Amino acid sequence: MTVGSQKGKRRRRAPPSSDLPASDPMASTAASDFGRCKRSRGYCCRREPSLPVALVALCTLLFVYITWKRMTVAVTVSAPPRFYSFNIVNEFPHDPDAFTQARSGLVYGGNETLFESTGLYHRSSVRQVILQTGKVQVSHQMDGSYFGEGLTLLGERLFQVTWLTRTGFTYDRYNFSKRHRFTHQMRDGWGLATDGKVIFGTDGSSTLYHLDPQTLKVIRRVTVRYNDHEVPYLNELEYVNGEVWANVWQTDCIARISHKDGMVLSWILLHELRQGLLKSGHTAIDVLNGIAWDEETNRLFVTGKLWPKLYQIHLRPVTGQLNGRIEDLCLIKSEIS
């Protein structure tokens, strides 16, 4: 056999057969596709189009991001509020005459002075006192039919509400004789605070009211909640660094509240403060009730009804287990309907 004939035989050799049986009608098509793939790519390719690798990677990243966001939101929503205890930074005396009365509202007035609203019928007053000594500088005795409650300072005016009425008063901060009476739409008058634009108020329920400082009309209401529980008996208020802080009446707790949605962000536990007064012989003291914030120097002051002292405290996070459940320490069943 000649060399030429051998080359001719090699050229006439049949192409590789496919995996499909010869009787299959798709056999010839599959073989043809196989040949084209082999010549153009060097291997057999699939006939179905596939997504580009970059698009697949993008979709994978998007799925991972969405899953991560959902997990983050879930953790944020379900994470419990933080809890704070305190260290005493300083103690200040209180005027002995005021000790016989029930302090209901407390506001830092600048220049080492405080404004106070004191309660009890025939004993209620609005006064300015010196922080370091507790000495009364200026005082206005209220009509005996009013029980003084929450107090706040907005601009040059003090705003005060009274217990069991929808009546309040405004005072010139420099001259208490310049005063005006107003009515409000809250069910009762307990606590007041302000962020400089809106006045926040409480009526002893779980509602935090937003009041227009010009008309004293309610412009918004939010229900204060801790987890699945409403927080009733919101009392004295203070606005601190974007939060509304509220004494919860008949407890030694302060709730730090988001005024936007009413959620309790964290708790301040001051049980040891009142227990210390009781152990030192001050058995006539009443509930924790009074928060004042010095925004310029970041000082926090607290006191209570019939307390002989006013305390400057520094908050510290609680480490370890709480001595009880927050529901037992800071929440009591509301009798307000």
Asked whether residue 97 is domain-assigned, the answer is yes
- Give me the number of domains the chain comprises: 1
Between 286 and 88, name the one with better pLDDT.
88
> What pLDDT score does 10 carry?
43
What is the pTM assigned to this prediction?
A: 0.76
Asked whether residue 158 is domain-assigned, the answer is yes
**Alpha-carbon dihedral of residues 132, 254, 167, 143, nearest 10 degrees?**
-40
Per DSSP, 287 falls in state -
> What pLDDT score does 291 carry?
96
Name the residue range of residue 129's domain.
83-318
What residue has token string 């009730």? 289
For the chain, what percent of residues have pLDDT higher than 70? 74
Least confident of 50-54, 243-247, 307-311: 50-54
Where residue 102 falls among pLDDT bands split at 50, 70, 90?
Answer: low
Give Cα separations from 133 to 12, 222, 310 (angstroms). 117, 39, 10
pLDDT tens per residue across span 55-78: 767 767 777 666 655 544 433 444
- Cα 12 from Cα 185, distance rounded (Å): 103
Mean pLDDT, the chain, whole residue set: 83
Asked whether residue 146 is domain-assigned, the answer is yes
For residue 5, give the 3-state DSSP assignment: helix
Q: Which phi and psi (to 5°) does residue 53 adopt?
A: -60, -40
Task: Reduce the secondary structure of 6-68 to three states and give it as a string.
Answer: HHHHHHCCCCCCCCCCCCCCCHHHHHHHHHHHHHHHCCCCCCCCCCCHHHHHHHHHHHHHHHH
Between 7 and 104, name the one with better pLDDT.
104
Sheet with 125-130: list strands edge to edge. Answer: 103-110, 113-118, 125-130, 136-141
Asked whether residue 64 is domain-assigned, the answer is no
Question: Whose CA is closest to 150, among 84, 88, 95, 211?
Answer: 211
Give the CATH number for residue 92.
2.120.10.30
Average pLDDT over residues 196-208: 97
Asked whether residue 292 is domain-assigned, the answer is yes
Asked whether residue 24 is domain-assigned, the answer is no
Asked whether residue 179 is domain-assigned, the answer is yes
pLDDT tens per residue across span 122-152: 999 999 999 999 999 999 999 999 999 999 9
Asked whether residue 206 is domain-assigned, the answer is yes
> What pLDDT score does 142 carry?
96
Least confident of 80-89, 97-106, 168-177, 299-308: 97-106
